[in-house]
Structure 1
Amino acid sequence: MAASSGEHMALTVSEDRATQGSGSQALANAQRQLATAARVVGLSEGAHQMLARSRREVRVSIPLRRDDGSVEVLTGFRIQHNVSRGPGKGGLRFSPQVSLDEVRALAMWMTWKCALMDVPFGGAKGGVVIDPRLYSDAELERITRRYISELLPVIGPENDIPAPDIGTDERTMAWIMDTYSVSVGATVPSVVTGKPISVGGSLGRASATSRGVVHVALRALEHFGLQPAASTAAVQGFGKVGSGVVEFLSQAGVTVRAVSDQYGAIANPRGIDSQALHEHVAETGTVVGFAGATPMDAARLLELDVDLLVPAAVEGVIHADNAPHIRARLVVEGANGPTTTAADQILESKGVAVVPDILANAGGVIVSYFEWVQGNQSYWWSAHEVDERLRERMLGGWERVLTMSHTRSLSLRDAATATAVGRVAEAHGLRGLYP
């Protein structure tokens, strides 16, 4: 096949000019990564165009009757980027920063993540433009149920399977499962993953992304000659992913010197007590004010002199302005898309290894797949079985990417994306075009 130049596709962003900011930047980064992979694997221009566009995009209006009786209308999205290898899979986020381009980018990254880790799903993502902190639990339930009701024609255990993301949790997934189940007249546990254990969730799902990040981070440290017990780390973000990363790194003997959340950052060069920090956050809702560390500028956390940096918050936090100042030997992406294309190039020139998101944070979708399988079979695995299978998949993915990187003289990101894109393109080719 003739190789695609990819240049015009690499710069493609949303046709919707109302969508701006970080979402458009995330989509531009995703498109550039695809363009690089297309050149590596020799995609035709037609194949490149198919993979650069979403298979299906849905925008819905969500009318909400608030607790005071007033009515407002929210906006929600669901993007199915690609379903050639299986049903769509991807999280649902409630955030004021949600945009159509952001969801497009996240759905594309999910496609590559599933393909790279050999999970038989395609990529999807959803979001509602909302700050959940400003709404009551009853209002959030009504929002969730109406959003899912609008999407009933396009979701389902064989079509598109949501999961928790920023601003949503296992309770949100229980509402989705119930709404869908009522609509079809039967209980369908496998319509979502990340559910409470009591309604069909999987043991180990809540911590799966964090555990996956740490499985790969520890192996990467050892690959670069750094023993965990002699290594230091900084973790940006203390939510679903970051809090677990701090805990599991500490258990492995890594000294976590700094942690941040949306309110601020703290540091202790001798190491932060993970258990004490979790207790503090449970009481106060933030890492700020933790007695076992001193306050620091959150932006400076990314530039600390540590062996391992884990950005585990949102996309685009490592960019051209701060990448020259990053001193970590290794960056392991706990968040989706935390490093821009320009920053990638700078870090590579500095000799900083970046383990990409589609590999590093794939633990969540891997155990989501396990949960989906268990739900379909009505047979549940032990926590030990889940973690052992997760570890095997994560380390297998690391070895595949490392081998590709060495064989083709590629960065870890380019090796991971090219591997994934090649698998999706192969599925496209084998299935053919209809009609």
Structure 2
Amino acid sequence: MSDIFDKCSTDGGYFGQLRRARDRFFTLPVIDDIPGPHMKFQGQDTIMWSINNYIGLANDPDIKAAAMAATENWSVSSPMGSRMMSGSTSEHINLEKLLAEHAQKEDSFLFNYGYMGVLGTITALTGPGDTLIVDKLAHACIVDAALSSKSKNSGRTPVRFFRHNNMDNLESVLKDVNKTRKGGLMILTEGVYGMTGDLADLTGITNLARRYDARIFIDDAHGVGVLGEKGRGTACHLGVQESIDIYFGTFAKAFASIGGYSATTSLVRDYIAYNARTQVFAKALPMSYVLSLKVALRKVIEGNDRRKAMWQRSDELKVGLRKLGYHIGTGDSPICSIFVPIGERVESVAMEMLSYLRKNGVFCTGIMWPVIPPGLMMFRMIPTSDHTPGDVEKTIEVFRNMRDSLKIRSLGKAELAKIATIYRNQ
């Protein structure tokens, strides 16, 4: 016999060695500043490229004023109770209507957290005989939602995966499922893939969904507020918003807040509201968020100049780093994904590079296997409207010095082939 806590003293689990070493440099770094393009890390000024403050709303004075006024009026307690019992207010309903209008849907339903909203929406709608088909690179919340879904009579809901953005493979899976299909079918995808920065092939997905009688759920965390007319998101940007059955947007990125919403038909919205356990059994979103989010939504809708500045910084960063010989991912979002080789000395080389950047005033996120293929390191950077041309110039200079100091070589054919499989898995 063993104790369930025995694993806690081992190197098992995510980042086991760093956890045991109580690392706070690479994992769980402590950053106390107000979110913005410049933040302190371990007492040093850094250019911050790791927060999703795409259009600079994190410290917007109007949003801040709305939150403070709401807190002064309602404190942090209102409303008390879940939406199902005593936590619904006219302000919640009004915000849902505004979000639905922005998403060009009939109605929407609020969730306290994006992760729990995805989980609640998908599990609420799953029934006997239903099948879920998931993009292989979908966010953990989508995968967890799919694997948590259970049919009432037949145990766990069948879950199938298709190769990332590979429409031939998706069609093959759809054909196979339809041979023995007894219930409903829903395709689950992101809009913008937050690590690599590429967009889902929503045109291909919507065409196949209609051909094979499937519904579509899109989690557009990195698309809403960033892409499309008035920041409506990836599906609007690609001209297929009407074909998306459930559009899920989150507030943790461009809105610089917390929570999320499922926008869909009124009929489906009400079913989710009554059956999403992650919200039925949770206290309603506090008024300070609800009222400040109304202001944030207005800023998103009116945010064309902010988005233009964001795209300018993104383009400058990508062009500058490519000139240095770095390989930049081919995604069509502002996200800048930089791939470098790390060979077999995976952790030591990766940490050496990440340390160099952070110690020289550039804070970005480092990604390794299993998120990307082995032998590669990816730096993920989020350009925002608040970054300046000077921030870009200094960052490019640090990357130039890192390349020379650490003798970072160019990627070989085999490594480039690995990267190609990320963006369209063969």
TM-score, with length taken from structure 2: 0.30
Structure with the greater alpha carbon radius of gyration? 2
Which of 1 and 2 has higher RCO (CA within 8 Å, sep 6+)? 2
